[in-house]
Amino acid sequence: MEIDSDMSNTIKVGDFVVVQRQGYTKLHKVKAHSRLILGSFNIEMDNVIGEKYYDTFQMKNMPGNRKLYTVEKVEQTNSAVESLSIEQSGADNRHIPNNAESQGLTKDDIDKLKDEELSSNIIVEQLISNSKTFSLRTGYSQEKYIKKKEKKYFEYIQIKKPSIRIMGQMFYRQDPTKTLGIRIDDLSQILTYANIHQEGNHLLYDSGTSGLMPAAITNSIGSQTTGCLIHMHPGNECQKNGFVAMQFPIEQAERCINVNLYSVLRCYYQQKDSFSDSSETKSDTNTDQNLENGAKNNEESEPTSKKARLEEPNQKKSWQLDNERACKILDQKVDSLIVTAKEHPVNIVKALLPFLRGNRSLVVFSLLKEPLQDLYFYLKSRVDIVSIKLSNNFMRDYQVLPDRTHPEVNMNYGGYILTGFKLIC
Amino acid sequence: MSFDGYKDEINEGDTVILYLTITQVYSIKAQPKIVNKKGNEVENVFQTPYGALKCGELIGKSYGTKISLSKGWGYVLQPTPELWTITLPHRTQIIYTPDISMIILQLELCPGSMVIESGTGSGSLSHALIRAVKPHGHVYTFDFHEVRAKTATEEFKDHGLASYVTVGHRDVCEDGFGEHMTGKADAVFLDLPHPWLAIPHALTSIKTTGGRLCSFSPCIEQVQKSCLMLLKLGFQDIQTLEVLQTQYSVQQRSIPVINLDFVKAEKDGSEPEKKEREMMKTVTGLPPASSPGHTGYLTFATLPPVWCRSLQISLNEEDILTSVD
């Protein structure tokens, strides 16, 4: 967060960037000679390398290939609304016929215009002068027409650095299932209700948010801090998109331990001696820890030592080391539990709650309300959870323009969040 | 001193959250004596619907445990910014957790961030900002009300947060955030009656590498003026939204069922005389009968780095031009 050195603001090969064209954004990894497909544009991205973040580039058609574009850095832009002079407007729409014959240009004509490497301004101008009804439209309507057409032919893109905000909105807009239906407001509340901050050990079970959840938690834990995240996932590999795009410093990224839900719990319950002894004084530390951890853990501490010991002298696989690291933390218990699952949450919460310390919070997200209602009754039936709340959000965006301010026409529906505090019983 | 980091045991002077029921949550101070209105030292007793609690007796107890009251029981929890928000003494209108969460995520705060807040108000948002930016970040918070600024300063000290926050008594619309703030902030938050007057000052306070701004306004007219100012000054990604949270009461309901099959056949005396009324059980989450339908509009914007601000201003001109008529 210190004043960035020059290089960190320069777009480099290997960087993950967010490419924005008007309201549309896309994640892209910068490589030498890479191309990006953005809507109907196939863009050669080489010219962004070495330029700075937030710079704006103009897409220029490559001669000979209508779909292929290159980009050039721009210092100044001219928008269509400014540069076009509208001579005549109507008072209302009473004379405008409702048919498709108002545009004189055919699709081929328009493609031709695009071929001639003309800017979006000129295309829009041509569209207007060939529209039979444009001059009949009201001033507002003309403006709307220009903006609509300009949007289609808008030729500028901007390069941004990925952030949790940008990616959260981008994934959700592209497809809500990419984040299990977690909208930006849901994400923001999951983080606050779970009290995620720079210290503590946090536990997440996430069955697939494109890496957004672990990235958001790791981001909130911060760099050069003490916090740690155990990220449990159901597959062989976790979804990483959102996480790698954040390009956390190694020190920070390493404090997110990705483990498979089944294998880490198996390790915890069946290979206790693989992680509960940190040094050579095996027996000593073992008994100490068991005393500390009380009866519950003792029951589970029958070692299946044969296998483990046989493998020990050889190099352990990295997933085994991760499991052991995670188990060590689970043994000390964690400071928050977050579940963002496709699966029914009751069994997951049942299995993970023993690892949550008392006086700490639990947050469960689900796109559906009913599974959380089931979870509510389960938690009520335990005596150690209080302040159980089930909520969802109404969120909407506004168009803000003088005399034309109103809610955006389209809106969507987020999911449900259940929160609670665990007690010490 | 119970706000900085996780704690297990209640120490003297800690702020403690007393949880009785979902609607009865209070913040109390774990100290045996308190100075009353007359200036005399008296025993610190907190009256609850379930009996009186001698606050001094909490010292040494563990957070997250049950405590007995004469007519019931309660639980003591360590405060979090969220618990503090629902229990703090109101000196002004406050911002609640759904808005706070959105503000923190959209301002892109993380440990190390430098953030400006104005006004401080009752410190509801400030506590969450501090949690987001500590240990190496800092919150600079300003209020034009002298007593409020002073009370907030004392409160942060009392909560053990003084090293993460600086409170200033200042009218930021008139005087800006001060020269020492120039180019220092990653993010600026405004909750002011005339936010558009403070936006130019926000511009000078944000780092040359750019940053985020948020303005919270209850009225749409304030939003319109702010958005216009943001456009003129070259901000981009201007987004206005509102978030409202609904809390559901999860219940199992029994619903009476009417069976109408018998009307089709004539009575032949074989029907049982009086049937017990049939009931069907269903689980539901009920929204409250009424709840707040508006808190405030949140307007967010990005200030791009210095190297592309003039370009952004020219891009924004379109929106300004169209808004003149």
CA torsion angle A292 A296 A298 A300 (round to 10): -140
- In order along its 425 residues, chain A shows pLDDT tens digits of 444 456 789 999 999 999 998 888 999 999 998 889 988 888 999 999 999 999 999 888 888 777 788 898 887 665 555 555 556 667 777 776 777 677 777 777 777 776 665 566 677 777 777 777 777 777 777 777 776 666 556 778 999 999 999 999 999 999 999 999 999 999 999 999 999 999 999 999 999 899 999 999 999 999 999 999 999 999 988 999 999 999 999 999 999 999 999 999 999 999 887 777 554 434 443 444 444 444 334 333 334 444 444 445 567 888 999 999 999 999 999 999 999 999 999 999 999 999 999 999 999 999 999 999 999 999 999 989 999 999 999 999 999 988 889 999 999 999 999 999 999 97
Tell me, yes or no, if A292 comes closer than 8 A to chain B by beta carbon.
no
Number of neighbouring beta carbons within 10 Å of residue A59: 19
Query: Which member of B136, B209, B318 has the closest CB to residue A9?
Result: B209
**Percent of chain B whose predicted confidence (pLDDT) is above 90:** 83
- Give every strand in the sheet of B24-29, ordered side by side: B24-29, B15-21, B72-77, B65-69
> Does B260 show up as a binding residue in the annotation?
no
Residues of B in contact with A188 (CB under 8 A): 101-102, 104-106
- Collapsed DSSP state (helix, strand, coil) of residue A220: helix
Query: Under an 8 A CB cutoff, do B101 and A168 touch?
Result: no
- A290 Cβ under 8 Å from any chain B Cβ: no
Closest CA to A72 of A160, A161, A156: A156
Q: Give the residue with greater pLDDT, A296 vs B17.
A: B17
Contact yes or no for B235/B213 (Cβ under 8 A): yes
- The answer to whether residue A37 neighbours chain B at the CB level (below 8 Å) is no
Residue B319: the pLDDT is 63
Q: Cβ separation of A81 and B137 shorter than 8 Å?
A: no
pLDDT the model gives residue B321: 62
User: Any idea where the domains of chain B sit in the sequence?
Assistant: 15-79, 86-244+293-322
Q: What does the pLDDT average to over B190-205?
A: 96
- Give me the long-range contacts of B232-235 (CB less than 8 A, separation at least 24): B232/B313, B232/B316, B232/B320, B233/B199, B233/B200, B233/B203, B233/B303, B233/B313, B234/B303, B234/B304, B234/B309, B234/B310, B234/B312, B234/B313, B234/B316, B235/B301, B235/B302, B235/B303, B235/B304, B235/B312, B235/B316
Buried b (16+ CB within 10 A) or exposed e, B309-325: bebbbbbbbbbeebbee
Once rounded to an integer, what is the mean pLDDT over residues B226-233? 94
The values of phi and psi at residue A415, to 5°, are -105, -160
Chain segment B33-44, per-residue pLDDT in tens: 988 888 888 999
Domain A164-422 belongs in CATH node 3.40.50.150: yes
Residues 6+ apart with CB under 8 A from A53: A9, A10, A11, A17, A159, A160, A161, B305
* Residues in a beta bridge with B139: B115, B165
Residue A400 forms contact with B (CB below 8 Å): yes
Can you state the angle between helices B97-106 and A164-174, rounded to 10 degrees?
100
Which residues of chain B are within 8 Å of residue A52 when distances are taken between CB atoms? 305, 307-308
Residue A403 CA from chain centroid, whole number? 35
Instruction: With CB atoms and an 8 Å threshold, state whether A392 touches B245.
Output: yes
Instruction: Assess A85–B contact: CB distance below 8 Å, yes or no.
Output: no
Question: What is the Cα–Cα distance from A184 to B106, expressed in whole angstroms?
Answer: 9
Q: In angstroms, rounded to a whole number, what is the distance separating the alpha carbons of residues A129 and A77?
A: 22
Q: Is B171 annotated as a binding residue?
A: yes
Does the beta-carbon distance from B240 to A397 stay under 8 Å?
yes
DSSP-based three-state secondary structure for B66: strand
Q: Which of B18, B84, B87, B322 to mutate to probe the A interface, most A CBs <10 Å? A: B322
Q: What is the mean pLDDT of residues B174-188?
A: 95
A56 in contact with chain B, both atoms CB, cutoff 8 A: yes
CA B73 to chain centre: 28
Contact state of A197 with B239 under an 8 Å Cβ cutoff = no
Superfamily of domain B86-244+293-322: Vaccinia Virus protein VP39 (3.40.50.150)
Characterize A299-308 residue by residue with b for buried, 16 or more Cβ atoms within 10 angstroms of its Cβ, and e for exposed. Answer: eebeeeeeeb
Q: Which of A211, A186, A191, A207 has the alpha carbon at shortest distance from A352?
A: A207
Neighboring chain B residues of A358 at a CB cutoff of 8 Å: 62-65
- Topology given in CATH for the domain delimited by B15-79: Vcp-like ATPase; Chain A, domain 2 (3.10.330)
> Is B122 assigned a ligand-binding role in the annotation?
yes
Residue (of B236, B237, B241, B187) closest to B216 by Cα position:
B241
Q: How far is A368 from chain B (nearest CA, A)?
A: 12
Please state, rounded to an integer, the average pLDDT across all residues of chain B. 92
Read off the pLDDT of residues B23-67 as tens digits, 9 standing for 90 and up.
999 999 999 998 888 888 899 999 999 999 999 999 999 999 999
Task: Find the angle CA(A347)-CA(A351)-CA(A352) to the nearest 5 degrees.
Answer: 120
First-last CA distance in chain A: 41
| A53–B305 C-beta distance less than 8 A | yes
Nearest to B314 among A77, A188, A374 (CB): A77
Q: What are phi and psi of B255, to 5 degrees?
A: -115, 130
- Locate the domains of chain A by residue range: 6-158, 164-422
Longest dimension (CA), chain B: 96
User: Is B285 annotated among the ligand-binding residues?
Assistant: no
Taking CB atoms and an 8 Å cutoff, what residues of chain B touch A80?
Answer: 318
To test the contact with chain A by mutation, choose from B109, B127, B318, B319 the residue with the greatest count of A C-beta atoms within 10 A, namely B318
Q: How confident is the model at residue A295, as a pLDDT?
A: 38
Q: How far is B325 from chain A, CA to nearest CA, in Å?
A: 9
Q: Which amino acid is at B284?
A: T
Mean pLDDT of B200-210: 96
